[in-house]
């Protein structure tokens, strides 16, 4: 059964290919949803998948892309599980 989470990653996560790397990781894990930069300098992810796959994405978020510096990762479980066809990078 799929679950949904919102993940907010803070630190040096914009301008360091974090969204592209997150998309690559999500696709590898079979996760659907999206990733986007937010005006406050964070990256936000909405992800839908099996619990084990979401947990692997969350672990990855603590490291991030090669040039990222992750300070904090906040995870919020979502009660409404949306249907997505892929994992997209949303434009700023």
pLDDT digits (tens, 9 = 90+) for 42-80: 999 999 999 999 999 999 999 999 999 999 999 999 998
The pTM (predicted TM-score) of the whole model is: 0.96
Q: Which domains does the chain have, with CATH numbers?
A: 2-89 (3.30.70.100)
The 10 Å Cβ neighbour count of residue 18 is: 25
The pair of structure tokens assigned to 80 is 């409404």
**Alpha-carbon Rg for the chain in angstroms:** 12
Kindly tell me if the per-residue pLDDT of 92 is higher than 80.
Answer: no
Question: Are the CB atoms for 40 and 72 separated by under 8 Å?
Answer: no
Dihedrals phi, psi of 78, to nearest 5 degrees: -110, 135
Residue 5 near residue 54, CB atoms below 8 Å:
yes
Q: What are the residue numbers of the active site?
A: 19, 37
Residue 33 has what pLDDT?
A: 98
């Amino acid at each position: 059964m799929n679950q949904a989470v919102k993940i907010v990653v803070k630190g040096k996560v914009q301008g360091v290919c974090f969204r592209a790397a997150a998309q690559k990781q999500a696709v590898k894990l079979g996760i659907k949803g999206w990733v986007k930069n937010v005006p406050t300098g964070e990256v936000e992810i909405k992800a839908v998948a099996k619990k084990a796959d979401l947990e692997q994405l969350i672990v990855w978020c603590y490291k991030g892309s090669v040039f990222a510096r992750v300070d904090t990762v906040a995870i919020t479980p979502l009660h409404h599980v949306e249907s997505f066809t892929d994992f997209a990078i949303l434009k700023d």
